[in-house]
Amino acid sequence: MQRAAYAPGVDLGLPGQDDPRRAEVRQWLAAHPRPSGRQLAEAGYVVPHWAPPFGRDADPLTQLMIDEELRAAGVHRPINPIGIGWAGPTLMYAGGDEQKERWLWPLLSGEEFWCQLFSEPGAGSDLAALTTRAERDGDHYVINGQKVWNSYAHIAKWGIVLARTDPAAAKHQGISYFVCPMDAAGIEIRPLIDMTGEHAFNEVFFTDVRIPADHLIGAEHGGWELAKVTLGNERVSLSGEGSLWGMGPTADDLVDLVRAAGGAPDPSVRDALVSVWMESQILRVLRLRMVSAVLAGRAPGAEASVRKAIADAHGQHVMGVARDLAGAFGMLAGTGPVGGWGGGAVAIGADATWSRGFLYSPALTVGGGTAEVQRYIVAEKVLGLPRDP
């Protein structure tokens, strides 16, 4: 049986195939059929909405058309999520011309990978409680302290670092924002293996790490404002509906697998499956409303905050139902959602995507602002309730 088409009733009205903006992208792709990251960067196709020369000042509609054309040609943008998604926009906002020229090209091309060194053992949700120090010493800053949960610090060339430059100032006032070379003397990177068995996180220790003073971004002690720019750049995703922060399988994928295996005999499991599917449809509509708001030139506002809070929990629900569907097989690594009733003979049961996704899913309501922090944002910024004392 086929999945019925679901029409959410939101028309994005993207211009057709003969639009000159599409033709321009196709022309470029014809001349660069297998573009390198550097070629994509220099053409402004990595982050098209940035100002030239790094982007193309593209409006949202043009961005979507560029995305479609690149996808149709099988061209992938460079992978450098923290660089392109968070560090880059902050450098665009506050970096000097030389800093932009030095760092942005290899960042956009993916030649130099970036990491984020914000969280500390005593500063996560309350990030401004950070205690890592940076002291000015001639034309250098000397950094001492410890960071934690730093994704991919072990393979990054550069890190964005928040450090306290004025310990006497009020909590949010004495913080500065730096770019740190990850191979500087005095940096020790220790791996943290997460529940999936993978090494993505690290602890990073700074002992008398000297970095040039021109690695300071923006004003000394003005780092908190830039930290907010970095954290706010968790972009409105215009693509990707995966249940793990826009990646990985969706509730539809789960339903497809169950359908292909002939259905689920247990009514309580069927009930749970329908619930997560309905949740996914609500999220799809919220996402499409966000996209159409952006296309119409409006800020996504409330939808973005509400959607993040629902989407994080949804990812855990999808993975939880998949685990329940696997029955006793769910205790094994590398099992998919079917097998519990169809027997191990069902080939799609041997799919590590789901067992890994289940183990990864608790991270969703912690990273990028915890579930509780999201609710504070919705309460204060969306509903206008009084600030938490």
Ligand X SMILES: Cc1cc2nc3c(=O)[nH]c(=O)nc-3n(C[C@H](O)[C@H](O)[C@H](O)COP(=O)(O)OP(=O)(O)OC[C@H]3O[C@@H](n4cnc5c(N)ncnc54)[C@H](O)[C@@H]3O)c2cc1C
What sign does the dihedral 346-347-348-349 (CA atoms) show? positive
CA 1 to chain centre: 35
Among 8, 76, 79, 125, binds ligand X (CB under 6 A): 125
Question: Which of 90, 150, 165, 335: binder of ligand X (CB under 6 A)?
Answer: 150
Which one among 45, 54, 149, 158 touches ligand X, defined by CB under 6 A? Answer: 149
Binding residues among 340-359 for ligand X as defined by CB under 6 A: none
Residue nearest to ligand X (CB): 124
Tokens, residue 377: 């944002």
366 touches ligand X (CB under 6 A): yes
Size of the site for ligand X (CB under 6 A): 16
**DSSP per-residue codes, 180-247:** EETT-TTEEEEEEE-TTS-EEEEEEEEEEEEEEGGGEESSTTBHHHHHHHHHHT-PPPSS--BTBTBB
Regarding 233 and contact with ligand X (CB under 6 A), the answer is no
Peptide bond into 53 cis (omega under 30): yes
13: burial class by Cβ within 10 Å (0-12, 13-18, 19+)?
A: exposed
CB of 31 or CB of 385, closer to ligand X: 385
At 216, give phi and psi (nearest 5°).
-75, 135
CA 294 to chain centre: 19
C-alpha 340/C-alpha 330 separation (Å) is 8
Contact with ligand X (CB under 6 A) among 62, 80, 109, 116: 116
Query: Shortest gap between Cβ of 387 and ligand X (angstroms)?
Result: 11
303 given a catalytic annotation: no
Which C-beta is closer to ligand X: that of 66 or that of 363? Answer: 363
Contact call for residue 363 and ligand X (CB under 6 A): yes
Q: Which is nearer to ligand X, 62 or 132 (CB)?
A: 132
Q: Which of 135, 203, 234, 279 is catalytic?
A: 234
45 or 201, CB closer to ligand X? 201
Structure tokens at 213: 């003073």
Interface with ligand X includes 292 (CB under 6 A)? no
In the complex, the residues that contact ligand X under the rule CB under 6 A are 115-119, 124-125, 149-151, 363, 366-367, 370, 372-373
